[in-house]
Amino acid sequence: MESVTTPGPAAGEPTAATPPAVTPPAATPRAAASRPRRADASRNRAKLLEAADHVFAEHGLDAPLEEIARRAGTSIGTLYNHFPTRTALYDAVLPARVSRLDQIGARAMAEPDAWTAFASYLTGLFDVLAQDRALNETLARSDLLTESVAAACKEGLVQVEELVRRAKAAGTLRPDFERSDLTAFIPALSHAIREMPTSDAWRRCLGYFLDGLHVPGGPQAGRP
């Protein structure tokens, strides 16, 4: 019949229930992507989220889904019931991770000196990225940026931009520094951190980078 190429993953739900009346809330016919209606399902969902969070952080975002299911104590089928795609799992897990960076931002904001604030934000950021592989890959790999993850990142960038603005205003950050410089550098060092044996290496690297961005003098702009 229509079996042209493969079973056809996109095709899906021809049979369905053929709803007689309205069946209003069952928007998605198959694939229970909606929220569970039963207590045990909710529990499983929570266990899966916990497991995904843990496994992603430890083994990276390409970790086998089977491992997540195993850690959650459910079958792989249940995982797919709740999260039909890997991306759905990312969406459910990563934004919260990304939000952890807000703490770092907040702490940096409290710092009175604008340059110190900016520098300590980056140091704190990489301190976290060195330990949290999920977060590291989220910031380093642009390919997996789903909408909700990207939103969380953008949220974080707002803080950074404020820090950048302040430091520029104080005259201690080079005026030609751009936001895109940060979104280039962060993935770079993120990648590298993952394979570095000691934290000393990336700290020194970051140090040079910061020195390159720093204007030591301060407000007394043009030196004659």
Selected binder of DNA within 60, 71, 80, 155 (CB under 7 A): 80
Confirm or reject binding of residue 59 to a second copy (CB under 8 A): no
Confirm or reject binding of residue 199 to a second copy (CB under 8 A): no
Give whole-number Cα distances, 182 to 14, 114, 137, 215, in Å.
Answer: 48, 17, 16, 17
The encoded tokens of residue 36 equal 């569970």
Measured at the alpha carbon of residue 133, what is the angle toward residues 101 and 80, in degrees to the nearest 5? 100
Selected binder of a second copy within 34, 178, 217, 218 (CB under 8 A): 178
SS3 (DSSP) at 15 = coil
Among a second copy, DNA, none, the one that 191 touches (CB under a kind-dependent 5 to 8 A) is a second copy
Phi, psi of 173 (to 5 degrees): -115, 135
Cα end-to-end distance, the chain, whole Å: 82
CA distance 129 to 136: 5
Selected binder of a second copy within 208, 218, 219, 221 (CB under 8 A): 208
Selected binder of DNA within 28, 75, 116, 131 (CB under 7 A): 75
SS3 (DSSP) at 173 = strand
Contact residues for a second copy, defined by CB under 8 A: 140-143, 177-178, 180-181, 184-185, 187-189, 191-192, 195-196, 201-202, 204-205, 207-213
Contact residues for DNA, defined by CB under 7 A: 6-7, 9, 26, 30, 32, 36-41, 44, 62, 64-66, 74-78, 80-82, 84-86
